[in-house]
């Protein structure tokens, strides 16, 4: 699998990014841009009232940003010349709503030019997205810098939906994240939508003995097959992550227990005693999920990277 060599090569760099996280602080913009969080919250709120898919998009965008080169806004950069940026790498189909971050940045620049990084704006926007969807609120550590590099090929460092538990554990631990972080953060899948291509492998030609992944509930697999036929499939076909896909509740964990989640990586959380007991805990208590999610988001969003404050989130200075 192409994932391994890249991941190994990059593991050292990723570890050194996470050790920089102590450079973040809670009151970073206290004097230089006290209004920044309310400005971003307003932009995210307005965008969400026009398009309900915005919160899921921004939450996932922040995750992708943090997992590649640390949370440094690398996901926001445009491809330049022949050099394709992360945005144009393979698992980019669900990344959208970049315009929301760009418009928040413009609004912030109008008040405090050159002060607030795009990476921080994305971290605020991800938090605001969760709050707007009925999830927990947390204080975002601040002071990230924007990076100057974004490479499409590096999106292969993102965990794949076909990953098993050991592959997921490895991907998270390379970034200083634990199994508890893995279970809590996977709860982001209570929001949003997935295209057929992300779970097609589970419902057609799964392996040489099973056409359909036997860990999927049969009735659920049939409905997925109707949405995603092998042939004549609509390019944008897919399904919501959970029936309450705009609400930040704990339905996702209940669905795992019912074998009705879309990805092998979701179902894999039942395959070790430790992760399984966390799935039970979060399925039983929305409060426990919310508390754990907030804590793990602070950890994930503290994986630091860049070196400048970009003027425009799409281009390096």
Site for ligand HEM, rule CB under 6 A: 53, 56-57, 59-60, 63, 93-94, 159-161, 163, 168, 185-186, 188-189, 191-195, 198, 263, 265
Closer CB to ligand NAG, 205 or 219, in the complex: 205
Binding residues for substrate: 159
Q: How far is the CB of 73 from ligand NAG (least distance, A)?
A: 17
Which listed option, ligand NAG, ligand HEM, none, makes contact with residue 141 (CB within 5 to 8 Å by class)?
none
**Closest Cα to residue 216, out of 180, 177, 268, 176?**
268
Q: How far is the CB of 302 from ligand HEM (least distance, A)?
A: 14
Q: How far is the CB of 298 from ligand HEM (least distance, A)?
A: 12
Binding residues: 65, 70, 72, 74, 86, 159, 189-190, 242, 249
Interface with ligand NAG (CB under 6 A), residue from 208, 226, 232, 236: 208
Give the nearest residue (CB) to ligand HEM.
Answer: 192
Is 214 a binder of ligand NAG (CB under 6 A)? yes
Catalytic residue among 64, 204, 210, 290: 64
Assess whether 64 carries a catalytic annotation.
Answer: yes
Is 207 a binder of ligand NAG (CB under 6 A)? yes
Is 164 a binder of ligand NAG (CB under 6 A)? yes
Which listed option, ligand HEM, ligand NAG, none, makes contact with residue 259 (CB within 5 to 8 Å by class)?
none
Interface with ligand NAG (CB under 6 A), residue from 210, 218, 274, 287: 210
Closer CB to ligand NAG, 19 or 205, in the complex: 205
**Closest Cα to residue 176, out of 7, 294, 296, 26?**
296
Interface with ligand NAG (CB under 6 A), residue from 16, 27, 166, 222: 166
Q: How far is the CB of 223 from ligand HEM (least distance, A)?
A: 17
Q: How far is the CB of 94 from ligand HEM (least distance, A)?
A: 3
Neighbours of 151 (CB within 10 A): 18
Burial of 16 (0-12, 13-18, 19+ CB in 10 A): exposed
Closer CB to ligand HEM, 58 or 283, in the complex: 58
Binding site for ligand NAG (CB under 6 A): 87-90, 92, 164-167, 207-210, 214
Query: Known catalytic residues?
Result: 64
């Amino acid at each position: 699998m192409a994932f391994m060599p890249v991941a190994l090569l990059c593991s050292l760099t990723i570890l050194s990014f996470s050790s920089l996280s102590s450079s973040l602080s809670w009151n970073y913009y206290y004097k230089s841009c006290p209004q920044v969080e309310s400005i971003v919250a307003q932009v995210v709120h307005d965008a969400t009232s026009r398009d309900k898919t915005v919160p899921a998009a921004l939450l996932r965008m922040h995750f992708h940003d943090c997992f590649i080169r640390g949370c440094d806004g690398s996901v926001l950069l445009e491809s330049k010349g022949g050099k394709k940026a992360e945005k144009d790498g393979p698992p980019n189909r669900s990344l959208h709503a970049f315009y929301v971050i760009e418009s928040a940045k413009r609004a912030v620049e109008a008040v405090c030019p050159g002060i607030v990084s795009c990476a921080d704006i994305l971290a605020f926007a991800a938090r605001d997205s969760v709050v707007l969807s009925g999830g927990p609120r947390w204080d975002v550590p601040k002071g990230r810098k924007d990076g100057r590099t974004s490479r499409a090929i590096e999106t292969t460092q993102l965990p794949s939906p076909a990953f098993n538990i050991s592959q997921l554990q490895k991907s998270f631990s390379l970034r200083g994240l634990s199994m508890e972080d893995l279970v809590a953060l996977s709860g982001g899948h209570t929001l949003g939508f997935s295209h057929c291509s992300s779970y097609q492998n589970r419902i057609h030609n799964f392996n040489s003995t099973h056409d359909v992944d036997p860990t999927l509930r049969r009735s659920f697999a049939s409905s997925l097959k109707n949405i995603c036929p092998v042939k004549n499939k609509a390019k944008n076909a897919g399904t919501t992550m959970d029936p309450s896909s705009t609400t930040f509740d704990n339905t996702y964990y209940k669905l795992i227990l019912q074998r009705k989640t879309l990805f092998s990586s979701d179902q894999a959380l039942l395959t070790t005693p430790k992760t399984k007991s966390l799935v039970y805990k979060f399925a039983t208590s929305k409060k426990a999920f919310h508390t754990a999610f907030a804590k793990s988001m602070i950890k994930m969003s503290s994986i630091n990277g860049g070196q400048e404050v970009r003027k425009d989130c799409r281009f390096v200075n």
